[in-house]
Structure 1
Amino acid sequence: MFLKKLLFPVLGILLVFYIGKDNYVTEDPIVSHRDTNVNPADDFFMYANGGWFKNNPIPSTEKTNGIFRIIQDTINNQIKSICVASAKANASFGTNKQKIGDFYTSGMDTLTINKLGISPLAQELKNIESIQNTQQLLQRVADMHTIGAGSMFGFYVSQDDKISSKNTLFLSQGGLGLGQRDYYFDQDANAKKIRAEYVKHIAKIFELSGVSKLQAVNDSKKIMALETELAKNSRKLEALRDPIKNYNKMSVAKLQKSTPNLKWKDIFTHLKINNPDSVIVGQPEFFKALNTSVKTVSLSTWKSYLKWHLLDNYAAYLSAPIENQNFYFFSTVLNGVKTQKPRWKRVVTETDGSLGELIGQVYVEEYLPKGTKEKLLEIGNTIRDVYAERIKKLDWMSEATKQKALTKLSKIIMKVGYPDKWKDMSTVTIKKDAYCQNIMEVAKWEYNYMVHKFGNPVDRNEWGMYPQTYNAYYNPSNNEICVPACNIIVPGFEGKMPDDAVLYGIIGGSTFGHEITHGFDDQGSQYDDKGNLNNWWTAEDLKKFKEKTKLIVEQFNTYEVVNGKYVNGDATQGENIADLGGVIMGYEAFKKTNQFKNNEIISGLTPNQRYFLAYGYAWMVQGTSQYLSQQVMTDVHSPAKFRINGPLSNIPEFYETFGVKENNKMYLPQEKRVQIW
């Protein structure tokens, strides 16, 4: 995962903890998950995982099934135990246990939630209804950002891309209920269906909130027209990945001059930012169009729009009819999920998402195997050493650029396991009978935590994930990778240490190798060793690098996902480069182990076979057709199938191991194969 301002959606590659001695898995998953009826040279994804897929269809409660669900189910059970124990502890008000226990209890108390209806949002809805002019409209938009219901545009405080030691203000395009602009314009049958269902969904939510059917229908159409206008002036997913073009720093005075209808001093005051001198505007054309829309779109339409986004952001925490309608559209229509997860799973997810900082402290004490940090660092440093060796041997890069690459590599900070210092959530008030209010309380705390950074030095020790979060990331502004604790044990190897082929195929390649490569992908390569957006390449080396990245874009553009939809090679190139670099670095590190050197055969598999199968296991994920269609439109990651077949199609050792010939589907002509790092 390439982390920049926490904007990009992610998929994790993570691992699951020891479940208990009664649940040991004795069969080797690297062997038993295979479908040996599939030729590995044609479709390694299905060869490596097809046996498991046949025996484990996607549950009606899920949009995907595979290694991530196995992991998440285990972590959810552990977090549930923490929540239940905290709820039973009768802890003093204001303590971590009281907050965890009462948050979970409030989410499980459906009687109170249903009784309250939309009353938790009554004051906010009243505030929107009282808007009488454009100035009040913009004030209300800003106020909604502070309670986790941001709309109209995006706003956040984070590191300045060119001055990584400084926190600054960012404005970006936003305000789309469907998330991505292409949903509003694509002409395929699925996109048209989603747009029609979205309008119906808005109307239904309004009806359930007490609006008359006629007004709800009229308002939904106006909101769709307004969001379509916002989408028309929004950049596409792939265009948002260019850090240079999305870095437009200007004085607030210049911003005000270019958008005279948007009173920025007043807006910033309501955003709790006093007298800023400059701001980084991601997409200036969006704000120029918004400047027109606040005057040309009727005030009543804007008010309906704000009400919709308030209800949309909090629908999952309101009464059952609203929550169920929210599930129908966002899970069933968009992702093909037919059945809601059990209540406890939904509430556990929300408790962890809201109070993960508190839960993480208990998780580290009660569930984390000893020596986790040390083992993760050992693997990470091995991968870094291999990376340095690879850079030194590159035949396409000059010595001058190599030295700068090596300097950047050596300065990558590795945050593994868990933070040494936890965030202070003492000001958060949690009540046992106020689920929606608790969600809003945490949203306010998160917003205040963020804006407090403005004007203060960057805290380079801050973590962007919890130790129980099954993911990892690279942050270019800090030149750091973060690998949370739950990356330590592989499912199917509970109670024992996996062999090195598995460790380096998953933890080494798909985690550390992947994240380190993000520092040298099409985006990360534009940041220097200090985390500043700064070109450190010679002109000739940069030209060669772009020629290589162009090849990987072309390769992935050919992969059809579902119903005529193809991988967006441009939008996904950073993750594809990281996957390719990761699997190569994991393999090079594995070659240094005794298992590889001694050609040790395990479960009838050679070291090479076992390594590549372990990499395939790392992305053992199948998804519904609706989910895959959505992923292509909204995600900078390729679907799991192509995170396996794509990178491996470029690796000579894979061809040799599984006998890939010119007539096989995974074969690429030599001139089409990508080798970057």
Structure 2
Amino acid sequence: MKLLQRITILSLTTLSIISCDKKETAFVDPLLTNRDTTINPTDDFFHYANGGWFKKHPIPSSERSNGIFRMIQDTINNQVKSICEKSAEANAEKGSNKQKIGDFYASGMDSLAINKLGISPLKNDFAKIDAVKDVPSLLKTIAHLHTLGASAGFSFYVYQDDKNSAKNMLQFSQGGLGLGQRDYYFNTDSETVNIRNEYVKHVQKMLELIGEKPEVAAKNASSIMKLETELAKSSRKLEALRDPNANYNKMSVAAFNSITPNIDWNFTLKELGIAKADSVIVGQPEFYKAFNGMIKSYTIEDWKTYLKWNLVNTYAAYLNKEIENQNFKFYSTVLGGVKTQKPRWKRVVEQTNGSLGELIGQVYIEEYLPKGSKEKLLEIGNNIRDVYAERIKKLDWMSEPTKKKALYKLSKIVMKVGYPDKWKDLSSIAIDRNSYCKNVMAVTKWEYSEMIKKYGKPVDRTEWGMFPQTYNAYYNPSNNEICVPACNILVPGYEGRMPDDAILYGIIGGSTFGHEITHGFDDQGSQYDDKGNLNNWWTAEDLKKFKQKTQLIVNQYSKYNVGDKFVNGDATQGENIADLGGVIMGYEAFKKTKQYKSNEKISGLSPDQRYFLAYGYAWMVNANKEYLSQQIMTDVHSPAQFRINGPLSNIPEFHKTFNIKPGSKMYQPDSLRVVIW
């Protein structure tokens, strides 16, 4: 999955038939103007391909990055804004999609009402926390907060059983950290130490804003930091979470109770909405053993303070101006380097889309999606799958029995493309214009209820995990499926014309379909079979060879650094493998096109030059230093520059196209060159 919000925009007009006269074709090719020709492509292809655009488009003060993703996000935001405004102006029937969209958006734009309400939308939930007096009432309240989307103490969800993908299981994993990742609580570099210090100040200020006196808030902020640090101490590192077998510990509820004697899980599960359960999957048992001890070692008052913080932190962005601004100051400015808030309309549009995207998506595909988009995406996706099969058949390191199983798994990958055939039913959600926070909470409660309903029922493999207007894509190993939403058909700079095949296969083919399919064969995905079950289908010798190859990519990326922080090669290896496989499969599919076979030049660029520049365009992202630092610490994706320079340095055709020689910074010697798929 491309968590950097992989965006591709191809055209805002019809894809099936586009006719342009000669005047219309006289356009400036982004592949030319994006370049910085003062940079040698043999040294840094990322900045060569994109540096010209970066110079003309500095990062806005309201953003942590700028590039292709921001361009497309702005385009979609404007489209969704139009949908929201039209819905808000309409005299829509109560309970209709338009009424929900319009009222949700209107409530978010009514800053006067939001400020007047203050923290009152959370009043009843604060009262529940205040009423906690013992361990049972504490567990009951923690469970209640989970139904509101707060990950208090731990993480709980209903999802597919890794070893029986047809069954939904109760899953427990580590969580409860306001800083997200454990390393923020322990790393000793000056930047991280400063973040910890600022975090305690932030928590204190937020507690003051919900009514605590400064001296009390200061004491409670220290208590919260101590509690979270202890949770972090028993949490696994980012790279350790990548091992699906090590993070799969299925046990009976009775066994779960036995390792956590201070917690009655039968009682807690009922409060979480599960009437009866026989077994659970616990990702990190050592975390729950520690959590069990903390239930008694910290006072009830300590836990109540932590729960109040957890609740207000969850809903801070939807409360009054002071709380929202303080939340922005820490999470966006301190952690992300963002200096100013986005305009309110943009923040509310993004939240409306995030909460009611299922409803907005139905309008989006009718009003903004080019006709023929779904068909074109499927065409490209199937072409990528075909060349993938050809590559697997020719692998010199894999035996025939394993090849046969790999090809079968590849043939069974389900492609969810464009938009779903059926939409989720949101009719039970009540939305009005009275409270923005309450509207967000109503959707969150509905989402939690829908998740809980899945327990004990067969997995619905038709369900989508993204909206058609989401700039992203994913591979789900448990379903052996990829999902490529409709908006991946669009590419900026080519509005009103069909991009050439180098663009189509460099961006949509390589960095989207090729990338996601390769996730089925990365260090994690390769452990799941064609049915989505965690099940070894490799021979021992082939698996050994595969791990030797993946270790090469771990070693390669571990040498890349931003300032004093180095990329975590172990944690990012799945995405790095997918990037490498994707760009290769996109190139192999492009070689079959008429454009490539005829060696046709466009804008003075050869097919090979255009393809690799198009791949560079797919990751044209300029990020500030704070965000890059945060990404290295918390994300399984490498920074954009390494998503370009890293995989390309392994490809012989790239070396030949841009004359990469020994001594060039982009040169990767044969002995270190990574070739997997």
Alignment match of 1:13 (pick from 7, 11, 23) = 7
Task: Give how far 1:15 is off.
Answer: 2.0
CA contact (8 A) 2:650 2:674 kept: yes
Secondary structure of 2:335's counterpart equals: helix
Equivalent residue number for residue 418 of structure 2: 417
Q: 1:620 and 2:614 equivalent?
A: no
Pair 1:646 & 2:640 matched: no
* Amino acid in structure 1 at the alignment position of 2:473: A
Q: In the alignment, what sits opposite 1:299?
A: 300
Following the alignment from structure 1 to structure 2, what is the Cα–Cα distance between the partners of residues 182 and 646? 25
Q: State the AA in 1 paired with 2:608.
A: N
Q: Which residue of 1 aligns with 2:17?
A: none
Q: Which residue of 2 aligns with 1:336?
A: 337
Question: Which residue identity is paired with 1:364?
Answer: I
Instruction: Describe the superposition over 1:518-550 as per-residue Cα deviations: whole angstroms up to 9, x where unpaired.
Output: 000000000000000000000000000000000
Look up the match of 2:462.
461
Letter of the 2:269 partner, please give it: F
| Counterpart residue number, 2:661 | 661
Query: 1:380 matched to which residue of 2?
Result: 381
Indicate the residue corresponding to 2:600 in structure 1: 600
Tell me, in whole angstroms, the C-alpha distance in 1 between the residues paired with 2:26 and 2:162. 47
Alignment of 1:77-96 (within 5 A): 77-96=78-97
Distance 2:269 2:631 in 1: 34
Consecutive aligned runs of 4 or more in structure 1 exceeding 4 Å deviation: 19-25
What is aligned with 1:633? 633
Q: CA shift at 1:168, angstroms?
A: 0.6
Root mean square deviation, CA, Å: 1.3
* Alpha-carbon distance in 1 for matches of 2:434, 2:242: 43
Kept in 1: contact 2:202–2:330 (CA 8 A): yes
Q: Following TM superposition, by how much is the alpha carbon of 1:410 offset from its aligned partner in structure 2, in angstroms?
A: 0.2
Corresponding residue number in structure 2 for 1:449: 450
Matched, 1:359 2:360: yes
TM-score (norm 2): 0.98
Call closer, same or farther: CA 1:273–1:17 in 2, change over 3 Å. farther
Does residue 485 (structure 1) correspond to residue 479 (structure 2)? The answer is no
Q: How many residues align?
A: 670
Superposition deviation, residue 515 in structure 1 = 0.2
C-alpha deviations, 1:459-512, integer Å up to 9, x for none? 000000000000000000000000000011211000111000010000000000
Per-residue CA distance 1:154-211 (angstroms, 9 max, x = gap): 0000110000000011000000000000000000111001000000000101111111
Matched, 1:507 2:508: yes
1:224 paired with 2:225, answer yes
Q: Which letter maps to 1:248?
A: N
CA shift digits 1:378-430 (9 cap, x unpaired) = 00000000000000000000000000000000000000000000000000000
Residue identity over aligned pairs, in percent, reads 69
Letter of the aligned partner of 1:434 in structure 2? S
- Deviation of 1:11 (Å): 3.1
Deviation at 1:10, TM superposition (A): 4.6
Work out the CA distance in 1 between the residues paired with 2:279 and 2:11: 46
Distance in 1 of aligned mates of 2:252 and 2:4: 33
CA distance in 2, matches of 1:395, 1:373: 35
Which residue pairs with 1:31 in the alignment?
A: 32
Q: Distance in 1 between matches of 2:98 and 2:208?
A: 38
Cα deviation, 1:7-63, whole Å, max 9, x if unaligned, reads: xx5531322652899999921001110001101011000000000000000000000
Matches within 5 A, 1:174-213: 174-213=175-214
1:42-81 → structure 2 map (5 Å cutoff): 42-81=43-82
Q: Which runs of 5+ in 1 are unaligned?
A: 3-8
CA contact (8 A) 1:17 1:486 kept: no
Q: Which residue of 2 aligns with 1:566?
A: 566
1:25–1:464 distance in 2 versus 1, CA, 3 Å: farther
Structure 1 119/300 Cα, relative in aligned 2: closer, same or farther at 3 Å?
same
Which residue identity lines up with residue 146 of structure 1 in the other structure? T
Aligned to 1:241: 242
Q: d(CA) in 2 for partners of 1:19 and 1:575?
A: 32
In 2, the alpha carbon distance for the partners of 1:532 and 1:11 equals: 27
Map 1:106-145; keep pairs closer than 5 Å. 106-145=107-146
The answer to whether the 8 Å contact 1:25/1:492 transfers is no
SS of structure 1 residue aligned to 2:170:
strand
| CA drift at 1:148 | 1.1
Structure 1 stretch displaced more, 20-29 or 54-63: 20-29
State the distance in 2 between where 1:595 and 1:572 align: 34
Q: What's the counterpart of residue 268 of structure 1?
A: 269
Letter in 2 for 1:604: G
User: SS at the partner of 1:164?
Assistant: strand
* Structure 2 contact 11–498 (Cα < 8 Å) conserved: no
2:391 match: 390
What is the identity, as a one-letter code, of the residue corresponding to 1:318?
L
Q: How does 1:248-287 map to 2 (within 5 A)?
A: 248-287=249-288
Whole-Å Cα distance in 2 between the matches of residues 195 and 23 of structure 1? 55
C-alpha contact (below 8 Å) 1:25/1:493 kept by paired residues: no
2:165 aligns to what SS in structure 1?
strand
CA contact (8 A) 1:133 1:299 kept: yes
